[in-house]
Structure 1
Amino acid sequence: MMELKNIGVRFSGRDVLKDVSVMFHSGEIIGLVAPNGTGKSTLMNVIMNYINPNSGKVILNDELEYTNKKNEVKIHQLVSMMPDQSDLYNQISGKEHLKIYSSMWNSQPKLIDETIKELGMSSYINKNTGTYSLGMRQRLCFAMQIVSDTQVMLMDEVMNGLDPTHVELISQILVKKKSEGKTVIVASHLLENLEKYADRIFFMKNGELIQVNDISPGFDVREITTVRVTDVTDTLKENFLKEFPKTNVQTLPNGTTLIDVQGYGSGELGNVLAFLKANHITEVNFGKVTLGDLYSMYYQEG
């Protein structure tokens, strides 16, 4: 369990993080979503103590804080951050990298071969990393994080450069780590993928950490909450609101219109569909608001 308590970071007079307080639990995958430059990496660097906050503190397991070098060593045995591709040494093999990480965190050596097999790296793991493709290097960085086997794992854009098959494979491994009681914090721009496995998702804006459920109550409800339509004119939208005055309707910057039908019965849904059909709207999807929808609404991007 890890707590961030009143974390504040200012750069050049600007609040990059503003009084951030949140608890991350064991056996939980946390998603961080935001445009570049909004504080995701800063937050992770504060957790690792690479950046000293102007205010607040990081507390691990109700007792450990970055109050001295001894505590920092203890925390870094329990918390790790996935390395960047620039951290790799081109002159040594992928397996040597895994051995270094296993040794640094004193994890079980058997994890090395298990991880190599799980990620399908056997054909190249003994070659120097300078020969690796972008995807191979990314998988190695992820494998290094996994063999560290720490209680808390931080991953910034873990899916970068990966094809859909390996995105799915790594997603499955993240879920496995969750089942082992790990706390996994993932910053990602692959919203559809993140939505599948994250237990809680946070947006970052103006230095604040905002849980998605606070932006859209019922976001994680597994029922029909939204009707998605395209090609809705302002006149049609106006007529719809006259017919259904208590219904919330919002058009995204990309042109998609969302009709909030949370709590509607089958009869009410039927009335909405009948209205749309009568107005020659045929591209209609019933489902729930997606993380991509919320991202577009919150950050006003098309």
Structure 2
Amino acid sequence: MILSVNNIHKSYGNEEVLKGVSFDIHNSEIVALVGPNGSGKSTLLNIINNLLPANKGKVTILGRSNKDPEIFRKISFMQDNTVLYDYLSGYDHLQFIGDLQGITKKHIFETAERIGIDGYLNKKVGHYSLGMKQHLLLAMALINKPELMILDEPLNGLDPTSAIKIRELLLELAEQGTAILLSSHNLSEIDKVTSDILFLKNGTLIQEDLSAHKQVWYEIKVMDVDVEITRFILSEANITTKFEGNRLYICLKNENLQYIFGILKLHNIVVLDIEKKILGTEERYKKIFFSSGTFS
């Protein structure tokens, strides 16, 4: 077990922010933590990293309590750029971690080159752009070769080219044996690195069928006059559909698309358009956090 979060409760005064949050990360995988602002994501990440005490519950990392200082030689936590010092250089930040972790100067420069910050490593952070700061934060999280990386908004402020490179780096790290827990608002980018999503709503994790995102849906648009007829015909054929306006959604399991088209053609149903859909993070988010949505 790489990370075990068990029944975490946290309150600020009378406000209960986390209400018994539990989850595990077993392997070198990428897991995303998603939720709106104020849902408790940062509080949960801080508790996991022993920066905040929980009112109740336990966190275990690599078989040890998260209160064991030795465990932080094997994990890293990328926070937002408020932890950076404007009057220090990028190298100063990496050297500080290197001194604490016993990391060589050679590895510091190798990490900087891998992330792509070697060109401005000696510049003071006060002159960094937001994207440059994000790269430095990621280098700081990577430098100790962690078995578990916890990343808070790692793609924030990155241009498309940088986002692609960081995404490829995360996938590479997971392939090489690093477990990654990341928090992000960038739902489209999450889809490109993982399908294992922890949705945090009102202080609790929403349990969902993770196999659902692998289902292939087809959005089929029919003439307005054909909607009720189409619904009835497919229902009679034991084909499950969902409707919004004149668009119907079919999740193909054993049903054959040509078979469905054959039924519609037989009844003179006019198909105007068809589009393949994947139930991605945005659709799953809408289903959980909004009262209605395409797949609700």
Q: Normalising TM by the smaller chain, what interval? A: 0.7 to 0.9
Residues 214, 279 of structure 2: 8 Å contact kept: no
Q: Does 1:129 align with 2:122?
A: no
1:127–1:266 distance in 2 versus 1, CA, 3 Å: same
Distance 2:266 2:40 in 1: 44
Out of 252, 268, 292, the residue aligned to residue 261 of structure 1 is 252
- Structure 2 gaps of 5+ residues are none
Determine the structure 1 residue equivalent to 2:29: 28
Structure 1 residue identity aligned to 2:189 = N
Task: Output aligned runs, 1:274-289, within 5 Å.
Answer: 278-279=269-270, 281-282=272-273, 284-289=274-279
Out of 274, 286, 289, the residue aligned to residue 299 of structure 1 is 289
Q: Does 1:10 align with 2:6?
A: no
Structure 1 residue identity aligned to 2:242 = V
Residues 247, 261 of structure 1: 8 Å contact kept: no
Aligned-partner SS, 1:203: strand
Distance 1:38 1:54 in 2: 17
Residues 101, 144 of structure 2: 8 Å contact kept: yes
What displacement does 1:65 show?
4.6
1:228–1:78 distance in 2 versus 1, CA, 3 Å: same
1:165–1:177 distance in 2 versus 1, CA, 3 Å: same
Distance 2:133 2:278 in 1: 36
1:258–1:119 distance in 2 versus 1, CA, 3 Å: farther
Determine the structure 1 residue equivalent to 2:193: 197
1:260–1:26 distance in 2 versus 1, CA, 3 Å: closer
Distance 1:52 1:11 in 2: 11
- Larger CA deviation: 166-175 vs 284-293: 284-293
1:216–1:143 distance in 2 versus 1, CA, 3 Å: closer
- Structure 1 gaps of 5+ residues are none
**TM-score normalised over the length of structure 1:** 0.83
Q: Does 1:82 align with 2:78?
A: yes
Structure 1 residue identity aligned to 2:283 = D
Which has the larger Rg? 2
Residues 222, 271 of structure 2: 8 Å contact kept: no
- Larger CA deviation: 14-23 vs 1-10: 14-23
Aligned-partner SS, 1:43: helix
1:256–1:141 distance in 2 versus 1, CA, 3 Å: farther
Determine the structure 2 residue equivalent to 1:162: 158
Residues 28, 199 of structure 1: 8 Å contact kept: no
Residues 157, 187 of structure 1: 8 Å contact kept: yes
Residues 115, 138 of structure 2: 8 Å contact kept: no
What displacement does 1:12 show?
3.7
Determine the structure 2 residue equivalent to 1:96: 92
Out of 206, 214, 223, the residue aligned to residue 220 of structure 1 is 214
Determine the structure 1 residue equivalent to 2:232: 242
Residues 15, 206 of structure 1: 8 Å contact kept: no
| Aligned residues with identical type, % of pairs | 30
Aligned-partner SS, 1:153: strand
Determine the structure 2 residue equivalent to 1:145: 141
Distance 2:203 2:263 in 1: 39
Residues 17, 208 of structure 1: 8 Å contact kept: yes
What displacement does 1:256 show?
8.0
1:120–1:77 distance in 2 versus 1, CA, 3 Å: closer
Distance 1:122 1:273 in 2: 61
What displacement does 1:160 show?
0.5
Structure 2 residue identity aligned to 1:17 = L
Distance 1:55 1:15 in 2: 12
Structure 2 residue identity aligned to 1:292 = E
Aligned-partner SS, 2:22: strand
1:11–1:272 distance in 2 versus 1, CA, 3 Å: farther
Distance 2:94 2:222 in 1: 52
Task: After superposition, give the CA deviation of every residue in 1:49-89 in whole Å (9 maximum; x if it has no partner).
Answer: 122112110012234353xxxx2x12322332113211111
Determine the structure 2 residue equivalent to 1:45: 46
Structure 2 residue identity aligned to 1:262 = K
Residues 33, 198 of structure 2: 8 Å contact kept: yes
